Amino acid sequence: MKKDSFIDGHKLKENNWVLWYHNNMEEGEDRWDPPQNSAVYLAAAITASARIYMYPFISREDCYYTDTDSVVLGSPLPPELISGTILGKFKLEERVEKGMFVAPKTYYLKTVDEHNVIKFKGPAKTMIHPEWFEKQYADPSLKTLVEVKSNFKVKLSTLEVTSTKNSYILRLSLDPKRVRLFETESGAWADTMPLHINDLSGLDHMGKRRIASLRNKISELQVYNSILEEKFFQKGSEVENKEDGDILKNLEIETCLTEDRTILDREEKREGTNHTLEESTKTDEKKPDT
């Protein structure tokens, strides 16, 4: 028995054990190389070609949901595009009366024959019902705690099959690569759109919605900017009025000082003139007669 990278072991019977190891498959004799007949480039080319083929259908305004090779439309396709046996054509699986598509691979369909189709991945998928979709549609951030019983749980360390109960939180895994759109009046979640559009030459209805959303955002920013400019102008006017008041006070003080100084100068000049007259009179009195 190898001692390095040993994880766990369980004895089945005499001389028979089940052992677990952790090995690096990139090194050593256990290295595994993928077969040479797998062509990733062929798979990529096929996927890209299928995406081109699907684009006229997934870009329609009445396209409610799409997933690789399937599409849910609001109106029927032409008969020449539908066949249950010809490869490359669509197969009509259900006629839908009501549908709710809240996340990728998570949706609820009610068919015309009153049959419910629910798609949800995870261990708690048995707890999903139409009412849950209604609640999640009303509030996409809603979380619900549920308890799920599993009747077939294998314990690898002992190879025992047991029945367990586990708690799970039911919630939506919202795709962060798309922007959610909400109704203006009701606030209900209405649609999603891509984050970025680099090519504006051939916009579909989703691109137009994105452009409309950006224009609304620009309008909101312009209104906000106008409010800020008005507040800035009011603040500037208050500062200017305050500065004008200070300048006016300084002018009044300087005017008062100038007037006071002028009065003093006049009084000094008058006093100087009177003194000269007195001196002239005294001089005349002392001058002898001839």
Residue 83 within a domain: no
Condensed to tens digits (0 to 9), the pLDDT of residues 176-223 reads 667 778 887 877 777 777 766 555 555 666 667 777 788 888 888 888
208 and 167 belong to one structural domain: no
Long-range contacts of 15-18 (CB under 8 A, 24+ apart): 18/159
d(CA 287, CA 280): 11
Instruction: Say if residues 177 and 195 touch (Cβ distance below 8 Å).
Output: yes
Cα dist from 216 to 88, 188, 189, 194, 222, whole Å? 41, 18, 17, 16, 10
Residue 205 within a domain: yes
Residue 220 within a domain: yes
Condensed to tens digits (0 to 9), the pLDDT of residues 25-38 reads 556 666 666 666 76
184 and 269 belong to one structural domain: yes
For residue 80, is pLDDT > 90?
Answer: yes
The whole model's pTM is what?
A: 0.48
Residue 16 within a domain: no
158 and 230 belong to one structural domain: no
Which one has a higher pLDDT value, 45 or 277?
45
218 and 142 belong to one structural domain: no
199 and 212 belong to one structural domain: yes
Reduced to 3 states, what is the DSSP secondary structure of residue 141? coil
Decide which of 150, 174, 198 is a domain's last residue.
174
Q: What length is written for the chain?
A: 290
Which one has a higher pLDDT value, 63 or 151?
63
166 and 202 belong to one structural domain: no
Residue 6 within a domain: no
Beta-bridged to residue 73, according to DSSP, are 63
For residue 261, is pLDDT > 80?
Answer: no
125 and 196 belong to one structural domain: no
Condensed to tens digits (0 to 9), the pLDDT of residues 114-126 reads 899 999 988 888 8
Residue 124 within a domain: yes
Averaged pLDDT for residues 144-172: 84
167 and 250 belong to one structural domain: no
Q: How many domains does the chain have?
A: 2
Which one has a higher pLDDT value, 15 or 208?
15
For residue 105, is pLDDT > 60?
Answer: yes
169 and 189 belong to one structural domain: no
For residue 277, is pLDDT > 60?
Answer: no
CB atoms under 10 Å from CB of 205, counted, come to 14
Average pLDDT, the chain: 77
Tokens of 261: 């100084």
Q: Which of 2-6, 193-197, 271-275, 276-280 has the highest mean pLDDT?
A: 193-197
For residue 110, is pLDDT > 90?
Answer: yes
Decide which of 126, 156, 174 is a domain's last residue.
174
Residue 27 within a domain: no
For residue 290, name the pLDDT band (cuts at 50, 70, 90).
very low
pLDDT score at 244: 67
> What is the residue range of 259's domain?
176-279
Decide which of 109, 144, 174 is a domain's last residue.
174
